[in-house]
Structure 1
Amino acid sequence: MTAKDDNLLARLTAASARLKEVGSADLAAAVDEAIAPAGWGKIRRAVEGDTGNPTLNVRMPEELKARIVAAAAAAGNELPDDIVEALRRFADGSFSPAAPVRARRGSAQKSTNLSARIDPAIRERAEAAAADRAGDLGYTATATSIVTAWLVEKYGLQTEPKATPAK
């Protein structure tokens, strides 16, 4: 947390106390709720609306995620839109990812998630297409393998050579 963040918290705490002093307990309670540990999430849902869409977590090496985030930002793209595009293109057959490769046991890089809220219907269509196309692809694609392959291809990134293709 930065000093500016600390100052904001102190000011909101003071505002809550002042609201209580002037008889606005309901407004003070709202401020207290906003500065509580989960308060920012409540504010975010109130502002953005709760889409009801579940989060899709795409597991990938930290270094690859950093390069993808940088490439998307440089291109002026939003990663959730790219993720939806990947799943839609796979589902409609216009994108076929190569089989993902796995690192040798014990040699994998530290991983993290690239997350986005995705309409479940889009994911379901991609998963149904993955089951239908497993024979043609030689493996059963997952949302993670589809999205990762799409982002690597879209942004012209190279992944480090790994040991063996996944089955």
Structure 2
Amino acid sequence: MTTSRKPRAELRADLVAAAERLREVDSPQLAQAVDTVLTFSALQPYDSQADPNLSIRLPKAARDRIVAGAKRDRVSVQAVVNEAFQEFLDGKFSPKATVRERKGTAAEKVNLNVRPERDLMARVAEAGVKPMHVAADYLQRRFKAGPYADDAQAVAMEPGQVRIPKVPRHIREQLRQAAESQVSIDIDEGFQRYLAGQFTPHPPVWSKDDKLVPMKVYPNDDLFARIAEEGPRRPMQVALAYLLTKYGISYTAAE
């Protein structure tokens, strides 16, 4: 008895469908096993013209939200990745720079495997940007996952060099009382939310009658540099506005 081999595209579609079905019946480990099979290089000779696999490394919670969002919207993750690449190549989308996670605080990471169009992925790579980075940022924005989730928690960052803004004494005391030793961590949180478009700062304006005193803080250097480069707000304007807003401290904002 002889059997004919299925075309690679058809086999891949069957495997993707099998993985989705396994997740529906609450068998995520088996689904992940099928996803892994899709990445085996041994499958490449089967059809060398097939679109290559792209493994997108994501926090597990973000991966699950993307998969659920795609199912809800009745779109394939592959189609959204192709859209991401085209938007990037057309100059309509630029991914945010990645931020390093403090050792020991990183969330569990998993792979989200897709097969975007070979030509699109190659052109993105030729532009000097990692296709995985473009795909990950676009998917998380589209489905409000990871740093773009409405309920996102900021990623803890390495402390940077000392910064010494001057603030009214009563403001410094209120911040110290409210945040205790977490001021620098809160500033990093504000920086990340600002860069993700989740916070609009209204910089404070101090009264001429206020006695200004130094306040030492240690925000992450990479985040500080990104805000300084992107503008239009200066990093410490963003930092102070976020701290005052987060702790409900009354202040006069710049127009």
Q: Shorter-normalised TM-score: what interval?
A: 0.5 to 0.7
4+ runs deviating over 3 angstroms:
46-51, 164-167
Show the counterpart of 2:101: 103
Does structure 1 retain, via aligned residues, the 8 Å contact 2:57–2:110?
Answer: yes
Q: Is 1:143 the counterpart of 2:131 in the alignment?
A: yes
Q: Could you tell me which amino acid in structure 1 is paired with residue 110 of structure 2?
A: T
RMSD of aligned alpha carbons: 2.7
Show the counterpart of 2:110: 112
Please show how residues 17-166 of structure 1 align to structure 2 within 5 Å.
26-27=1-2, 30=3, 43=6, 45=8, 47=10, 50=47, 52-129=50-127, 131=128, 141-157=129-145, 158=149, 159-162=152-155, 163=157
Residue 120 of structure 1: how far off its partner (Å): 2.1
Deviations 1:42-93 (A, max 9, x none): 5473745855111011111111100111111111111000111111111211
Higher relative contact order (CA 8 A, sep 6+): 1
Residue 123 of structure 1: how far off its partner (Å): 0.8
Identity of aligned residues (%): 27
In the aligned structure 1, how far is the partner of 2:136 from the partner of 2:115?
16
**Count of residues paired in the alignment:** 120
Residue 110 of structure 1: how far off its partner (Å): 1.4
Between structures 1 and 2, the one with greater helix share? 1
Residue 105 of structure 1: how far off its partner (Å): 1.5
- TM-score (normalizing by structure 2): 0.42
Of 74-83 and 153-162, the range deviating more from structure 2: 153-162
CA 1:156–1:62 in structure 2 vs 1: closer, same or farther (change >3 Å)? closer
- TM-score (normalizing by structure 1): 0.61
In the aligned structure 1, how far is the partner of 2:65 from the partner of 2:154?
16
Q: Could you tell me which amino acid in structure 2 is paired with residue 90 of structure 1?
A: F
Please give the secondary structure, in 2, of the residue aligned with 1:113: strand
Greater gyration radius: 2
Which runs of 5 or more structure 1 residues have no equivalent in the other structure? 1-25, 35-41, 132-140
Please give the secondary structure, in 1, of the residue aligned with 2:144: coil
